[in-house]
Structure 1
Amino acid sequence: MHCVALVVAAGRGTRAGGALPKQYQRIGGECVLRRTLRLFASHPDVSAVLTVIHSDDSDLFREAAEGLPKILAPVAGGDTRQASVRAGLAALDFAAHEIVLVHDAARPFASDALIARAVAAARASGAAVPVVPVTDTIKQVDAEGQVVATLPRSALRAVQTPQAFRLADLAAAHAAAATAGVDDLTDDAAVLEWAGRPVFTFEGEASNVKLTSAADIAEADAALSRAGGGLCALADVRTGTGFDVHAFGPGDHVMLGGVAIAHPFGLAGHSDADVGLHALTDAVLGAICDGDIGTHFPPSDPKWKGAASDQFLAHAVEKVAALGGRIAHLDLTLICEAPKVGPHRPAIRTAIARITGVPESRISVKATTTEQLGFTGRREGIAAMASATVRLPLAE
């Protein structure tokens, strides 16, 4: 059951103020839409991402999506949310995708686990939405503002996105609603409900907030700045370096920085031989004086044969966190004649950001050759150099 994500980004977001629509405003140094797209583009359960945009926003979208994998050409939306989703559904390949996740562009904090739950719920029920309990007392009021009823909270839920459906079912319900002139429903679950189809729920996330107002944008930016900018309170600044080499061997691709790149040869090594992630792992471990990759993952241990190297780097990041520290910057240089790294640089930065939790704005990926000198010049293998800047609390 292949899954496609449909990100709705055609609104103007006027309540958020500012010179740009809210989905293109920046939080933590990065535009909201790019953060949202990256959530789905990097998720293993999602095979493609289609964005519905305003017809005036092509250049803004191009910048927001640059370098991200799985991104399809955008589709122009309509005057209402329903019309925009309907336009997106019409552009999808029903033969290629059975499940669709519809998500608000202004919800950039959904987790990998939430997306996985959405896909699983759609596969199980055909239509499901993430919900969170309602904690405030809810009053029903009349036109004059007088309370006419107090609704029982136990039966109430606040609904989020991504909402998950069988693609054919959602498209049919939208088409029927359009034919009937019903175009004021506020979410896609309501479209299915109007069509008489059952909709189920699964666990949402309190952190999966929708950015609506200028205050929301400012609060999200401040929170991300504190998370990355809390670095200022970590006064012990360390720098570590890493270096790794792997020879070419049999295979049809190489792993570089967490990205599989087609190549006539593979890289020989006990794990997946990802020289980029190995060098970064040693750089992080070096910054905290905690041995090297071989110390933590001995090549003599058959447990690590063919293992994905992302777990090595993630382990080093966890070591930093255990010391109360944060990674401030990562710099990776890949040294080879082939394959060409440039076209894959954005995807590598995205992969490293996903593994480490470090913002892409703090991750550098470069590539060079040795001018046909040495083993890399003879195309016998690939080398990588890395540095990591880590900030730790000052010791007593």
Structure 2
Amino acid sequence: MSRPRTLALIVAAGRGHRAGEGLPKQYRTIGGQAVLRRTVQAFLAHPQIDGVQVVIHPDDRELYDAAVEGLDFLPPVNGGASRQESVKLGLEALTADCVLIHDAARPFVAPAVIDRVLAALNNEDGVIPALPVSDSLRRGGSHIEAEVEREGLYRAQTPQGFRHAAILAAHRAVSLAATDDAAVLRAAGGRVAMVEGDEANMKLTTPADFARAETLLAAAMTSRTAMGYDVHRFGPGDHIWLCGLQIAHTHGLIGHSDADVGLHAITDALLGTIGDGDIGQHFPPSDPQWKGAASDRFLAHAAQLVRARGGRIDHVDLTIIAEAPKVGPHRDAMRQRIAAILGIGFGSVSVKATTTEGLGFTGRREGIAAQAVATVRLPAED
């Protein structure tokens, strides 16, 4: 018997700004990545999820595209005026046996939670993960008006799993201001089972939530440092490309691409942090498409590979070894350009220069060398 086709529907159409920074919370970053990206990746990585679709606000398409750049999954669906309408529009767009509906602002959903929901869904029309209430409860305003018995009370989480036909029929038949989809199914007469949730599967809403998320990520990350080195010789020309800048000079640098020795060294350093070969493997000089190519493309690619592993670039340090041209007048512009390509802060980029006191090929002004060191943080299990 074949496994039922199961898709994840990520609800990201909300416009809440309570988390600050002027962005909907699903597009804020934690650990250098958008919350939505982390959420989508959690489902893409699960072996029993056959596809992922996100419901977005139509005004957020640019934010969405930037958040999920490089990920391969179903195109987004525009949401509606309410959460229920957004979910309904997402469900209408899906073809599946089962669907897991998940809040975009819960990026820490664990594979085990997804496993428990899917296992229970074999015998149910609806399943939610939930945690028992452990705190004492009170009802009131400025003063306590009553105690509330906590026995039998649970905190609902997502993903909430459903038979696709059952939850779609419920959304078509029922209209109510529901906070989750289990309530919609129950209002339509369906039954919903509960499985164990996870304390880490929190919904990010307030600045305090985001601060806690950063702490959790920091504890789960490991630091890696790698080096890169590159050399290009001088040839005919009146300028060179160095750290993404065109600089007038008595000669040019010879290379298959634009021969930007600084960006090449940083690219190799970043690839080294994730153990993903070197620049020649990703952009072989034998391939004519890279002839004369701007090296910012190489560096941006390496940075994207780091981010795709859940990584965050903490710092890059570049040393240029040359008698000429002088780096000092261009240093800050170089730092700004590198920071812009990598999507990191100006203060996270260092550019230094030195000579070899007339010794060796750089001392003889035959070319330029560059050495780079990159430090990134990656998920500890990577």
1:186 aligns with 2:142: no
Residue of structure 2 in register with 1:8 after alignment: 11
Rate the CA distance shift 1:102–1:390 in 2: closer, same or farther, 3 A.
closer
Counterpart among 274, 277, 281 of residue 330 in structure 1: 274
Measured after TM superposition, the shift of residue 79 of structure 1 is: 1.6
Q: Which one has a bigger Cα radius of gyration?
A: 2
1:119 and 2:118 are equivalent in the alignment? yes
Q: What is the one-letter code of the residue matched to 1:147?
A: E
Q: Does structure 1 retain, via aligned residues, the 8 Å contact 2:274–2:306?
A: no
Of 35-44 and 58-67, the range deviating more from structure 2 = 58-67
TM-score, normalised via structure 1 length: 0.58
> Residues 51-73 of structure 1: CA distance to partner in whole angstroms, max 9, x if unpaired?
0001111111111122223x211
Query: In the TM superposition, what whole-angstrom CA distance separates every residue of 1:262-289 from its partner, at most 9, and x where no partner exists?
Result: xxxxxxxxxxxxxxxxxxxxxxxxxxxx
Q: Give the alignment partner of residue 218 of structure 2, picking from 225, 241, 246.
A: 225
- Quote the residue 1:36 is aligned against: 39
Q: Secondary structure at the match of 2:7?
A: strand
Q: Give the distance between the partners of 1:81 and 1:74, measured in 2 at CA.
A: 16
Q: Is 1:20–2:13 an aligned residue pair?
A: no
Distance 1:350 1:192 in 2: 41
Contact 1:330 1:362 in 2 (8 A): no
Deviation at 1:146, TM superposition (A): 5.0
Contact 2:311 2:376 in 1 (8 A): no
Equivalent position to 1:147, from 145, 149, 153: 145
Between the two proteins, the alignment pairs up a number of residues equal to: 257
What whole-Å deviation, never above 9, does each CA across 1:1-36 have from its counterpart, x for those lacking one?
010000000111221121211110111111100000
Q: Percent identity?
A: 42
Would you say the 8 A contact 1:42–1:351 is kept in 2? no
Would the alpha carbon gap of residues 118 and 25 (structure 1) be closer, same or farther in structure 2, given more than 3 Å must change? Answer: same
**Inter-partner Cα distance in structure 1 for 2:116 and 2:63:** 31
Could you tell me which amino acid in structure 1 is paired with residue 12 of structure 2?
A
| Residue pair 1:3, 1:98 contacting (<8 A) in 2 also | yes
Q: Is the 8 A contact 1:128 1:165 kept in 2?
A: yes
Give the TM-score taking structure 2 as reference length: 0.60
Assess if the C-alpha contact under 8 Å between 1:83 and 1:183 holds in 2.
Answer: no
CA distance in 2 between partners of 1:128 and 1:174 (Å): 16
Q: Contact 2:225 / 2:273 at 8 angstroms: preserved in 1?
A: no
Q: 1:167 to 1:390 in 2, by over 3 A?
A: closer
- Is the alpha carbon distance of 1:87 and 1:155 closer, same or farther for their aligned partners in structure 2, counting shifts above 3 Å? same
Deviation at 1:76, TM superposition (A): 1.0
What does 1:98-109 correspond to in 2, within 5 Å?
A: 98-109=97-108
Q: Deviations over 1:341-388 (max 9, x none)?
A: x9xx89x959984xxxxx33469xxxxxxxxxxxxxxxxxxxxxxx99
Q: Distance in 2 between matches of 1:176 and 1:11?
A: 23
Distance in 1 (CA, whole Å) between partners of 2:50 and 2:127 is: 19
Tell me the SS of whatever aligns to 1:155: coil
Structure 2 matches for 1:1-396, cutoff 5 A?
1-69=4-72, 71-93=73-95, 97-141=96-140, 147-148=145-146, 150-177=147-174, 182-228=175-221, 231=223, 329-333=273-277, 335=281, 349=305, 353=309, 359-361=310-312
Task: Output the CA distance in 2 between the equivalents of 1:34 and 1:361.
Answer: 13
1: CA distance, partners of 2:70 / 2:98: 25
Q: Please give the alpha-carbon distance, in whole angstroms, between the structure 1 residues aligned to 2:10 and 2:376.
A: 35
> RMSD of the alignment, in Å?
3.4
- SS of 2:66's equivalent in the other structure is helix
Is the CA contact (8 Å cut-off) linking 1:189 and 1:199 kept in structure 2?
Answer: yes
Contact 2:138 2:144 in 1 (8 A): no
Deviation for aligned residue 1:222: 3.6
SS of equivalent to 1:129: strand
Letter in 2 for 1:87: L
Task: Name the counterpart of 1:367.
Answer: none
> Counterpart of 1:378?
none
Residues 37 and 350 (structure 1), Cα distance of their counterparts in 2 relative to 1, 3 Å cut: farther
Deviations 1:273-328 (A, max 9, x none): xxxxxxxxxxxxxxxxxxxxxxxxxxxxxxxxxxxxxxxxxxxxxxxxxxxxxxx9
